[in-house]
Amino acid sequence: MMNAMRSWISRVAAWVVALVLVLVVASSGPASPAPAAPKDPLEEENGYVKLGFDRLASYTFKVPAFDPAANPGLEPPTGEEQIPSWLKDLSGRKVRLTGFMLPLKMEKGKVTEFLLLSDPMMCCYGAVPDMNQWVVVRFTNGVRPIQDVPLDFYGQLQVGAMFENGYMTGIYSLEGEKMGDIKG
């Protein structure tokens, strides 16, 4: 029974991600140049840079048009020229991110992979988020599933295009170290 439920959850999560990706690619247009550095300096606390979606999504990111089925063997465009250099410089740094969990993969009742969203309404039932409005978060040992409340996650940030089967799946990822206290 639990295996069937996990399998169903995994299939639903895969369909949600696929739907989001299709809608994001379909709505993409020409790329915009990366904006200048933010006015306010980034704060650091206990060795972690405090980073929010106000900064991660502070610029327009358009997913470059590409169809891996029509262009097999070609390297997909990354669109990384749109990402501000100050944000690329955070790649590899320890950060604290706050957002809303959308579970993708579960093992033994814990979430091992999820999307961290800037808004709880950004999912298959609400607004389709832009590529820079989510972070793919992975925890080796998983964390308890908590939805619809803002949560802090600590870990190492990676900035740059990520692909699965030739399709761009994100530009931010976090190798999770710990989950903070529940807010709200």
The total of other beta-carbon atoms located within 10 Å of residue 33's CB is 10
Mean pLDDT, the chain, integer: 82
Q: Do the Cβ atoms of 104 and 31 come closer than 8 Å?
A: no
- How is residue 180 written in tokens? 């903070």
Number of domains in the chain: 1
- pTM for the model: 0.77
Query: For residue 55, how many C-alpha atoms fall within 13 Å in the half-sphere facing its CB?
Result: 24
In degrees, rounded to 5, the angle at the alpha carbon of residue 178 between the alpha carbons of residues 158 and 165 is 40
pLDDT band at 75 (very low <50, low <70, confident <90, very high): confident
Nearest-angstrom CA–CA distance, 136 and 49: 18
User: Does the pLDDT at position 14 exceed 50?
Assistant: no
CATH assignment at residue 167: 2.40.50.140
Residue 140, Cα to own-chain centre: how many angstroms?
A: 17
Pick 71 or 138 by higher pLDDT: 138
Which residue range is the domain that position 58 belongs to? 2-182
CA distance 13 to 85: 32
pLDDT tens digits along 45-64: 999 999 999 999 999 999 99
